[in-house]
Amino acid sequence: MTGDLFDMLESPRDEQVGPGTCLLHGFVRNSAAEILAALPALLEQAPLRRMMTPGGQPMSVEMSQCGSLGWVSDRDGYRYTRRDPLTGNGWPALPPFWRELAGQAAAAAGYASFVPDACLINRYAVGSRMGLHQDRDERDFTAPIVSVSLGLTAIFQLGGAGRSDAVQRLRLVHGDVLVWGGVDRLRFHGVQAIAPGRHELTGEFRYNLTFRKAG
């Protein structure tokens, strides 16, 4: 059996997990090392930090941003800004090949012409989690969210239109890309506490990149 055929049999196909939600198994697995290699320079310009919730609690996940807009949370609420409040500088530019990969993933999920202007970089240590929320600080909900998983595995909770709707649990492994948009664009979602483990490329962390059209 050739390696390619073996890979095809081993990799599950793209999974339509909701009317507007597609799980692209392993979509960036072969580009993962290259994606991760771009991180240190970005994080040097805009360091990871635990932002405050509007209620004054530090978030569990460490975050940074790149693109012309970056998402910020503090006592004044959630919003996109052109400058990093930590450094006063503009956010680092979105690496062109990240933008291209995000566009390709969106197209594979049925969303043509996706051009993100913001990318949230989330770093989850073991035990970090993200509570159920909607991504609703973007100006235009016609563009999808493209979410790339790297490193340790996550259990992603995909809820419904209401906070207390039942959640579906999706296992997101290194290289998976989850895309949600259309009628699913405002579904609640979150990430369960990351289980202990070690990944050869990311050590004891999970990285998640979410690409958005924010402005």
Ligand X SMILES: O=C(O)CCC(=O)C(=O)O
Q: How far is the CB of 103 from ligand X (least distance, A)?
A: 19
The yes or no reply on residue 128 touching ligand X (CB under 6 A) is: no
CB closer to Mn ion, 94 vs 178: 178
Binding mask 119-148 for Mn ion (x = CB under 5 A): ----------------x-------------
The yes or no reply on residue 184 touching Mn ion (CB under 5 A) is: no
The yes or no reply on residue 189 touching ligand X (CB under 6 A) is: yes
Choice from 66, 120, 143, 170 touching ligand X (CB under 6 A): 120
Grouping H, G, I as helix, E, B as strand and the rest as coil, residue 24 is strand
C-alpha angle with apex 178: 172 to 179, nearest 5 degrees?
170
Residue 44 backbone dihedrals phi, psi, to 5 degrees: -70, -40
Are 46 and 86 contacting, i.e. CB atoms less than 8 angstroms apart? Answer: yes
Choice from 62, 84, 135, 184 touching ligand X (CB under 6 A): 135
What is the secondary structure of 104-147 as a DSSP string?
Answer: HHHHHTT-TT---SEEEEEEEETT--EEEE----SS-TTS-EEE
Choice from 98, 111, 156, 188 touching ligand X (CB under 6 A): 156
CB closer to ligand X, 111 vs 180: 180
Number of H helices, E strands in the chain: 4, 13
Q: Is the dihedral of CA 78, 130, 174, 13 positive or negative?
A: negative
Q: Nearest residue by C-beta to ligand X?
A: 208
The yes or no reply on residue 148 touching ligand X (CB under 6 A) is: no
Contact residues toward ligand X (CB under 6 A) are: 120, 122, 130, 135, 147, 154, 156, 189, 191, 208, 210
Contact set with Mn ion (CB under 5 A): 135
